[in-house]
Amino acid sequence: MTNSRRSLTNTSSTRRLACAAVLLACVNLHAQTPSAPAASPIQPKDGLWNWTMGAMQSSASCMPGVAQSLAQLLPQQRSEQVQFDTPFHPAQLVKDSAISWQQRSPNHFIAVANGITVQGFPLPLNARYELFVLSPTRMRGDATVEMNVWQVCKVQAPFDFERQEQVSPAARTR
């Protein structure tokens, strides 16, 4: 074996060893890096909460006017006094026995309801809700309604829940 060939073999071996060392160092560094702490559950505050639905968007497969028809059946905004259970569970916000909620993480919930009917809408619908508790005074989510007319039609709308600050009686008289 010539010196140049031996040098080339040594260089390839050196490179492989260096790559293996870097890879091993990365694995060890990752193993020593503490993971982010798990989020703590957020407990929403009792009080007056406003619910606002954003603009509905329908899939291209929907018949014209479906999103507008659904929007007319659902409240675009409402306010109500809410006293939350401890620990918080979103079943208090969307009250329907057909809806089954699952908790994905401490502040993330998903619900699915299949075959539900909305007053005045002639077809059974499948609904999916996704809710995020962002703070003790704010939540947001998305609602997706799916129906099968001739093909699957999906209508999606974002929504927000926000707690309103209560005005004290003394502040009202000023």
Q: Tell me the pLDDT tens digit for each residue of 45-66.
A: 999 999 999 989 999 888 888 7
Q: Is the model more confident about 86 or about 75?
A: 86
- Verdict on whether the full-model pTM lies above 0.85: no
Determine contact, residues 89/110, Cβ cutoff 8 Å.
no
- Sequence-distant (6+) residues with CB within 8 A of 22 are none
> Does position 165 have pLDDT exceeding 70, yes or no?
yes
| Mean pLDDT of the region 20-31 | 35
Among the listed ranges 17-31, 59-73, 127-141, 157-171, which one has the minimum average pLDDT value? Answer: 17-31
Confidence of residue 29 (pLDDT cuts 50, 70, 90): very low
133 burial via Cβ count (<10 Å: 0-12, 13-18, 19+) = buried
Q: What is the mean pLDDT of the chain?
A: 76
pLDDT of residue 170: 54
What string of H, E and C letters represents the secondary structure of the chain? CCHHHHHHHHHHHHHHHHHHHHHHHHHHHHHHCCCCCCCCCCCCCCEEEEEEECCCEECCCCCCCHHHHHHHHCCCEEEEEECCCCCCCHHHCCCCCCCEEEEEECCEEEEEEEEECCCCCCCCEEEEEEEEEEECCEEEEEEEEEEECCCEEEEEEEEEEEEECCCCHHHHCC
Confidence of residue 40 (pLDDT cuts 50, 70, 90): very high
| Mean pLDDT of the region 88-102 | 84
